[in-house]
A and B are shown apart, each in its own frame.
Chain A
Amino acid sequence: PVEIKKEAAMSELVPEPRQKPVVPMKPTGINASLLGYIGIDTIIEQMRKKTMKTGFDFNIMVVGQSGLGKSTLVNTLFKSQVSRKSSGWNREEKIPKTVEIKAIGHVIEEGGVKMKLTVIDTPGFGDQINNENCWEPIEKYINEQYEKFLKEEVNIARKKRIPDTRVHCCLYFISPTGHSLRPLDLEFMKHLSKVVNIIPVIAKADTMTLEEKTEFKQRVRKELEVNGIEFYPQKEFDEDLEDKTENDKIRQESMPFAVVGSDKEYQVNGKRVLGRKTPWGIIEVENLNHCEFALLRDFVIRTHLQDLKEVTHNIHYETYRAKRLNDNGGLPPMTVETEENHESNL
């Protein structure tokens, strides 16, 4: 009913002076066979050139208790100091009393492709004594970005390219306890898997043996399923059979990725590799026998980066928008908060 009335309102207010021509129904395609080269395939090059010129935005959020290696992992993923480690806290500095949201942007370039990468850190998450509702500031931040985009989209004079600050990917760090997920983990993922793409990772995976790792992963997968938590790549968004088989394999075998991060290089077998040096050996970060970092890197960056953005735009953002437009009767329009103190629940 809401939709129909809106359309009626629009046609009432702008009376047509002349009869509208009949718009043809969605026409059926007729297959025309080609004889001789035309040049339609040059459109691919044109599009490629265009995208290289405009560049890309990517916003990644990291969530997890402090000390799980979040900053190190992101720096390892992007081979650059994109995230400042918070291990610089000494006794005098206070641990944040609330969950803070810190977004830092950098521009990185590779192979002619320019990317504006924003890493959103959430210090203070899960570090309090009482962590009830500590996901709320995070959910609020994510929704604020959707709201910002919606406001721009709804403007009459629109920008040619709306700045995209929406969170495309949220890496959730699971403590490698070896047992099961914590209640906080489940609570967070339950609330946020509906608004953002969540990729769970098992942090500091070098504390588990291979068997412990496999068992833990299985248990985590089971718990996520039992609790109805749909992490990325979500089953319902598989576009075709090809996607489904590829994603099924990732969902059922690889995820959650057990990762190790490092920004130090060592010499192993004559090669320079990123790794962690321990008395019992060097853990090579990009060695698939040691940990699954390479899988995570390939998944997030080399194959599914664009898809992460598209799911965020076509599904999460659209869901938010639909809810906002339907709710208009009840709630006043949401204001975007730029400076605001989030109270913790202490």
Chain B
Amino acid sequence: MFEKEFASLDISNTIDNQNDGCRTLPLSMHVGFDSLPDQLLKKSIKQGFCFNILCIGETGIGKSALMSSLFNTNFEDSPSTHFLPSVRLRAQSYEIQESNVLLKLTFVKTVGFGDQVNKADSYLPIVDYIDAQFEAYLEEELKVMRSLFSYHDTRIHVCLYFISPTGRSLKNIDLLTMRSLDSKVNIIPVIGKADSISKTELQEFKKKIMTELVTNGIQIYQFPTDDETVSEMNTITNGHLPFAVVGSMEKVKIGNKMVRARQYPWGIVKVENESHCDTVKLRRMLCTNMEDLREKTCAYYELYRRCRLEKLGCKDVGPENEPVSLQEVFEAKRLEFFLEMERKEEEIKQRFVQRVNEKAAMLEEAEQQASMPVYLEFLCQGRFRVNVRKMYSLKGLSSTGEQAAQGSVESQYLEVFKR
């Protein structure tokens, strides 16, 4: 007899661990399972962590420069032209090691965004790319023999959207793109090349952007404020959005140190100086909330998965409100597909036989009506040879047919038909 002495598990979606109807027991001595988190982390560290950043912005707005500044290395990349016919995406992977953490960073950026005369479809390749990563993960998850624990996760964890430093407002393409992405990825808006705006203009600009995002109903990523240790810092940071960033591939000598900066005749903009720009803030926020970004990406993936499976006609509950297994649905669909394929094959076969018979009848007629001289005439004009070749290929004798066409045409033709 199968007996369960605790209440049935009914785990809701809250992260907080409930007792699920089980008694809490006191321990009389040290057991040692407090090392569990360490055991878990040991494995994660061995495997390394994946993090994928997508940068969307116009050509020349400083995407590569910002990435290089964020991670303090120079990611080699050639600047792109303004004359690409459509928006494309370029992905590069790097492995960054800091103390015992191995980060597999993938940096994807748009190429040619905002350059076309007609920008109506600019957002499509980006949405497609994000969906393609979800699709690849879903495919792996649905495989019969799968290896999810060693799967290299390519889903985009955060999207940095670069806003042009016009000082006015968001452009239409900004709104259009962000609206099409906000249900698929964490969006953090940043103002690129922010050293071209003065401090006072910047405050106004930021406020304007945030109000526009709210009025247009665009959901951007909010840094989590539920954990007491980080809530204060995160609330303050949420007030600094969008981040006004400056990036630089070059270093300038200040004092006796080489510092990442941009040198102007009137002064030096230091990338790592928080009173000059928000680059360091962005870096800090990305690093301290990496895990939360990854978690939220999983939630976006679940949404994608649900829509995709529903589109396939899968349901969790059948017509009589009985739970339906996904496997049953797959089977049904597979059977459907098989039958469809069989039917199509039959159709093609029938058509082929029909055409062959028609052609054969035609040629027989021609044979009966025509006489030798007409054949010779045809031969000279090359028409007959073509017909024979066609006929041979219909019967599936293409190679031999061609050889025969070179030789004595008439005898070969008669022989084929006698078969």
User: In the complex, which residues of chain A have a beta carbon less than 8 angstroms from the beta carbon of B15?
Assistant: 53-54, 160-161
Q: CB-CB < 8 A to A159: which residues of B? A: 11, 13
Over the window 298-309 of chain A, the binary record of Cβ atoms lying under 8 Å from chain B Cβ atoms (1 yes, 0 no) is 100111111100
Residues of chain B lying within 8 A (CB to CB) of residue A5: 334, 337
Question: Cα distance A2–B23 when bound, in Å?
Answer: 47
Question: Restricting to B65-119, which residues have a CB under 8 Å from any CB of A?
Answer: 70-73, 75, 88-89, 91-101, 103-104, 106
Cα–Cα, bound, A296→B193 (Å): 61
B154: chain A residues within 8 A (beta carbon): 23
In the complex, A340→B154 CA distance in Å?
45
Measured CB to CB, the nearest residue on chain B to A303 is B39
**Known contacts A44-B41, A151-B325, A154-B325; is-contact A318 B27 (Cβ 8 Å):** no
In the complex, chain A residues whose CB is within 8 Å of the CB of B22: 105-107, 116
Determine, out of B233-241, B309-317, B356-364, B371-379, the stretch whose residues face the partner at the interface.
B309-317
Q: Chain B, 29-44, contact with A by CB distance < 8 Å: what is the 0/1 string?
A: 1111111110111111
CB atoms of A318 and B331 under 8 A apart: no
Q: Are A28 and B93 in contact (CB under 8 A)?
A: yes
Interface residue B415 (Cβ < 8 Å from any Cβ of A): no
Main SS class of interface, A: mixed
How many residues of chain A have a CB within 8 Å of chain B?
Answer: 112
What are the interface flags for B295-319 relative to A under an 8 Å C-beta threshold, 1 for contact and 0 otherwise?
Answer: 1000100100110011111111000
Q: Is the CB of A53 within 8 A of B17?
A: yes
Task: State whether B97 touches A328 (Cβ < 8 A).
Answer: no
Q: Which residue of B lies closest to A84 (CB)?
A: B5
CB pair A310–B328 under 8 Å, yes or no, is no
Chain B residue contacts of A39, Cβ below 8 A = 98, 283-284, 287-288
Cβ A23 vs Cβ B133 within 8 A: yes
Is A109 part of the binding interface, using a Cβ–Cβ cutoff of 8 Å? yes
A2-B144, A81-B25, A102-B5 as given contacts; A111 in contact with B34, CB under 8 Å: yes
Q: Mark B132-150, 1 if CB is under 8 A from A, else 0.
A: 1100100100111110110
Question: Contact size class for B?
Answer: 35 or more
Q: Is B417 part of the binding interface, using a Cβ–Cβ cutoff of 8 Å?
A: no
A305 touches B97 (CB 8 A): no
The answer to whether A29 touches B72, judged by C-beta atoms less than 8 angstroms apart, is: no
Interface of B is mostly: mixed
Q: Among B123-131, B167-175, B347-355, B383-391, which stretch is in contact with chain A?
A: B123-131
Contact A79:B29 (CB < 8 A) given known A29-B94, A159-B13: yes
User: Does chain B have a CB within 8 A of A129?
Assistant: no
User: Which residues on A sit within 8 Å (CB–CB) of B88?
Assistant: 21
For A342, the chain B residues whose CB sits under 8 A away are 1-2
B132 to A338, Cβ gap below 8 A? no
For the complex, is B4 an interface residue (Cβ under 8 Å from A)? yes
**Contact (Cβ within 8 A) A46 B32:** no
B residues less than 8 Å from A79 (CB atoms) = 27-31
Is A104 positioned at the interface, with any CB of B under 8 Å from its CB? yes
Chain B residues closer than 8 Å to A109, beta-carbon distance: 24, 27
B291 at the interface (CB under 8 A from A): yes
A111 to B38, CA, bound (A): 12
Q: Is B333 an interface residue (CB 8 A)?
A: yes
A43 lies within 8 A of B306 (CB): no
* Interface residue A270 (Cβ < 8 Å from any Cβ of B): no
Q: Taking CB as reference atom, which chain A residue is nearest B101?
A: A41
Contact of A298 with B32 at beta-carbon distance under 8 Å, contacts A9-B334, A27-B92, A46-B290 already known: yes
A34, A51, A81, A156: which contacts B315 (Cβ < 8 A)?
Answer: A156
Most chain B beta-carbon neighbours within 10 Å: one of A31, A154, A165, A342: A154
CB-CB under 8 A for A34 and B96, given A21-B128, A154-B325, A158-B302: yes
Per the bound structure, the CA–CA distance linking A21 and B99 in Å amounts to 37
Specify which chain A residues have a CB less than 8 angstroms from the CB of B292 in the assembled complex: 46
The answer to the question of B320 belonging to the interface, with a C-beta cut-off of 8 Å to chain A, is: no
Offer 25 A-B interface pairs, CB within 8 angstroms, sorted by A: A5-B337, A7-B139, A21-B125, A21-B128, A23-B129, A31-B97, A40-B96, A40-B287, A43-B103, A53-B15, A79-B30, A79-B31, A81-B25, A100-B1, A103-B3, A104-B6, A106-B25, A112-B34, A113-B37, A156-B306, A160-B13, A239-B46, A301-B32, A318-B145, A340-B1
Given contacts A80-B25, A305-B33, 9 further A-B contacts (CB under 8 A): A6-B334, A23-B154, A103-B5, A104-B5, A108-B24, A116-B20, A160-B299, A274-B29, A304-B39
